[in-house]
Structure 1
């Protein structure tokens, strides 16, 4: 379902902060370590080719882990003022949003299918340029905080500016972000001119992390509705038609991660791929439950520790099991598999089993985050 995703969360009423050179309290040593692992895995195929399924599972789960932890509410240090401040609110999907998502995704997917049948080269040129630009912004947002310590302390570098980006909304940036964007533009140039698998993955990983970090499903029910809808969506478009596979293979944009498998194989068989939708959609659900773990722990007046992240780790393990199952069936049948066919039951099943074991089924099902919008009809009725 990769083609149905806005790479950075879509049009937003919440200002999108590129990276801003802020020190994020959610970036714990463990998150940093997983980030380094992800970086190593991205470049490792230049030296040694891991079995593609190992690389796929490790990279996808690393993106989910990092994005989920960066989405945790907390504080950060604003480099412009030097003061500690609350992290910007997440962009929250409403009930209507999640119900429309599979339908809109299907329209976009089929539209791309038709366009690629008629104007493949032109579509790839224009869409490739658009996604390359977004990829540069997403990657720059991740690079900026690491670039900040190596730059001189200057107000010119830390002063924030705001501007509107079509289809993205308000964007805030400073001098550090500008320098980071200039550096990442080199990656964008290489990607756009060569479509090299490594630059594709740099952008894909950036999209995945930023998407999970910035978006919220709002409630458990919203998440369940979205997963159920995309479960049907994925099965239909992969098993029922050639649309999904055709678009995924034709669309030259970083909406998927590609993994080298055999350099000696024919050109079309050298890589395996995993759509960003199969990372971001389950990742949003996992991040939602991680934030619930953390919020409940803080509400009880207890320190947040790894042992309190019960639902998160249940979901995280289930996600890995779902990916392994996908690889097993893909290898067994030697054909593309709709990953959400295995990931959705793993996500919903593990969360409900965990809640049942802890006697918290009611609390889980009624769980909501502060930013979730009320149903307009319900509000009007009241």
Structure 2
């Protein structure tokens, strides 16, 4: 994992140099490198001590609908309420999320660099009324590594908002947010993953290709390229033939996070198989890396293929492409091929993770 973290951090200075090469495919290679290593790091972080919360089948089914409502809501605000200042709120929200994500990502490697500092820690107790946790006392233990990581996160968030800040700083915060999401969230089962990703594929296709026919405007592109949403919500890279309206090529974080959740799930499935557990049993020791990563490696290869096809389609058509249109079929097909070739289709379909479901207010019977 230390090597993976290092490679991810190397992308910051390298990304700044690449635009100067004027190589036509530099942006595509940069996006591909960042996306793959973000998923790799996030997937392995999901094997840590704290198991991720699990998405139920109903929540996975509803995810594309909620995503559509959110997207169209933002589009409505941009089009009909142009004077409404939502940029400050969004910047503040993303700033806090970025600080937390950067701190969470940097703390583990800093602990290994500063091992003796672990002997020093500070405990902060929170009132029970402030954080609900089954009646138990809630506290936070901070070490020097945690404080240093948080300071770096705050500095990165502030610096990214300054005029002339390198675009790679935005991307660094963005990939930290995705790796944090992959660590904290599980799709629970392959059935939930396949259902949610299929729904998000339809969501992506409609809002990129179909929305202009319904609303007279490309809703997805309008929101994604709006300066209101300028921040670590996407990866950016300077275009060779940039103009004032579209200075950057864009890869949305959803095109990394959504497939990444399936890939992380398959890494944990590999782990359960390597421990000889059945699909319906509890998962294996979360501290152990799987000896056989067949499904995980297949998914990584499928993701690379799907994202490459997306780039080619974008280059040939000269128009924005719904990346999930190419990524989702590539991933699901790859998983099915491996499962069929190993006679593990039933094991895959029966696999469920015994994690805590995501709490939803007013819903006491989550499945």
Same-fold status (TM-score > 0.5): yes
Give yes or no for the alignment of 1:153 onto 2:123.
Answer: no
Matched, 1:315 2:260: no
Distance 1:59 1:325 in 2: 17
Distance change (3 Å), C-alpha of 1:368 and 1:151? closer
Q: Quick check: 1:68–1:283 contact (8 Å CA) kept in 2?
A: yes
Distance 1:213 1:44, change over 3 A: same
- Corresponding residue number in structure 1 for 2:202: 232
For 1:124-135, what aligned pairs fall within 5 Å after superposition? Answer: 124-135=87-98
Query: Match for residue 153 of structure 2?
Result: 184
SS in 2 for 1:371: coil
Aligned pairs (5 A) from 1:1-382: 31-49=1-19, 51-73=26-48, 87-117=49-79, 118-119=81-82, 122-148=85-111, 149-150=113-114, 153=117, 156-157=120-121, 159=123, 161=125, 172-176=140-144, 177-194=146-163, 196-241=166-211, 242-250=218-226, 251-262=229-240, 265-299=242-276, 308-371=292-355
1:148-200 deviation digits (Å, cap 9, x = unpaired): 33386366535465589999998845143233212321111122343752221
Equivalent residue, structure 1, for 2:215: none
- Partner of 2:251: helix, strand, or coil? strand
How far, CA to CA, are the matches of 2:257 and 2:239 in structure 1? 23
CA drift at 1:247: 0.8
Backbone CA RMSD of aligned residues = 3.1
Q: TM-score, normalised by structure 2?
A: 0.82
Paired residue for 2:214? none
How many equivalent residue pairs?
332
Q: State how far apart, in whole Å, the 1-side matches of 2:131 and 2:206 are.
A: 28
Change (3 A) 1:235 1:33: same
Distance 2:127 2:31 in 1: 37
Distance 1:101 1:154, change over 3 A: closer
CA distance in 2, matches of 1:37, 1:346: 25
Taking structure 1 as the reference length, the TM-score comes to 0.79
Partners of 1:293 and 1:308 within 8 A in 2: yes
The question of whether the paired residues in 1 share the 8 Å contact of 2:188 and 2:353 is answered with yes
Q: CA offsets per residue over residues 281-305 of structure 1, 9 Å max, x none?
A: 100001101101112212379x977
Structure 2 unaligned segments of length 5 or more: list them: 212-217, 278-283, 359-363
Report the CA distance between 1:34 and its aligned residue: 2.6
